């Protein structure tokens, strides 16, 4: 049953919603984001005009959204959008919801010494968040984004069109849509693959309950897809190309070991906003230092 909203002013509505969402660690933020969505305004507007009153329809809509959030439904699914790297992305239940910590991966790729016209591959693109963030910062780069889900491919294409960013999106199970060649083709390959073990209790908590299982869970204690990408990426990287991966906070040492064993150099990890090692990366060197244009790999 949806609780009624007793207050009409924006300030009072937020305070009421915060009370309804007291089990959420981000109750205040959730309340403000949902109210801004109802009004089609920014959160700054809420603080600028706190005494503005809601009409009856807005009160009803807000109360329904707050009730849905109180039941556990992600805010991003309620609003249909999520901000990532200052880009407003459309989201739905066919993909993962972009997380702030994934911006650490974007930042690391931008720090790499890549060509001005680098060719970059994003595996398991989902909403297109990583690829679109990179393209927004490096217009000269060519981005290819792959995902095995047709719904995710369609969503990433919509986000690219909406943001007016040039992104080639294709359906592919990891590298299956690309033609392998000895000399590679991409200057960087990035991925935020499934890395949660099937028996991890966190799968029954928070927003992940509403996200696709296939985008979260991997075999071999969550390491199977990471290992596959590390092994296969070597065939698609140019000489000196980089592989950058997001992973679980307890998987950095294993990823570094796999990267080193596979022959990558300059292997290291990076920390997220909670100071946990959440990305690992390495550089691939070809014998003879040959390269090949990545466009030759796209079917």
Element (H, E) at 121: strand 119-123
Q: Which residues fall in the annotated binding site for S-adenosyl-L-methionine?
A: 124-128, 147, 174, 192
Which helix or strand (DSSP H or E) is residue 235 part of?
none
145 token code pair? 């984004």
The encoded tokens of residue 112 equal 């790499």
Structure tokens at 37: 């969505």
CB of 128 within 8 A of CB of 156? yes
C-alpha to C-alpha distances, 295 to 44, 115, 179, 181, 236, nearest whole angstrom? 44, 16, 10, 12, 11
For 159, the token pair is: 């986000």
Annotated binding residues, written as ranges, equal: 124-128, 147, 174, 192-195
Binding residues for substrate: 192-195
196, two tokens = 């949660």
**Residue that the structure tokens 């390495």 belong to:** 282
């Amino acid at each position: 049953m949806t609780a009624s909203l007793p207050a009409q002013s924006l300030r009072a509505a937020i305070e009421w919603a915060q009370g309804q969402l007291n089990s959420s660690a981000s109750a205040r933020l959730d309340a403000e984001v949902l109210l801004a969505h109802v009004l089609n305004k920014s959160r700054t507007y809420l603080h600028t005009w706190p005494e503005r009153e809601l009409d009856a329809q807005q009160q009803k809509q807000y109360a329904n959204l707050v009730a849905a959030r109180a039941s556990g439904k992600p805010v991003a699914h309620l609003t249909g959008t999520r901000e990532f790297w200052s880009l407003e992305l459309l989201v739905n239940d066919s993909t993962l919801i972009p997380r702030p910590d994934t911006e650490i991966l974007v930042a690391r790729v931008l720090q790499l010494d890549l060509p001005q016209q680098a060719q970059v591959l994003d595996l398991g693109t989902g909403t297109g968040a990583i690829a679109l963030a990179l393209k927004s910062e490096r217009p000269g780069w060519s981005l290819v984004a792959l995902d095995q889900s047709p719904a995710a491919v369609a969503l990433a294409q919509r986000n690219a069109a909406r943001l007016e960013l040039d992104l080639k999106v294709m359906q592919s199970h990891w590298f299956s849509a690309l033609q392998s060649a000895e000399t590679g083709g991409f200057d960087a390959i990035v991925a935020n693959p499934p890395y949660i073990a099937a028996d991890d209790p966190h799968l029954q908590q928070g927003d992940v309950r509403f996200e696709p299982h296939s985008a979260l869970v991997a075999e071999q204690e969550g390491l199977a897809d990471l290992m596959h990408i590390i092994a296969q990426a070597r065939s698609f990287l140019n000489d000196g190309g980089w592989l950058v991966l997001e992973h679980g906070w307890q998987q950095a040492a294993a990823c570094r070991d796999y990267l080193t064993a596979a022959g990558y150099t300059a292997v290291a990890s990076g920390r997220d906003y909670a100071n946990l090692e959440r990305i690992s990366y390495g550089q691939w060197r070809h014998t003879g230092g040959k390269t090949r244009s990545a466009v030759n790999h796209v079917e």
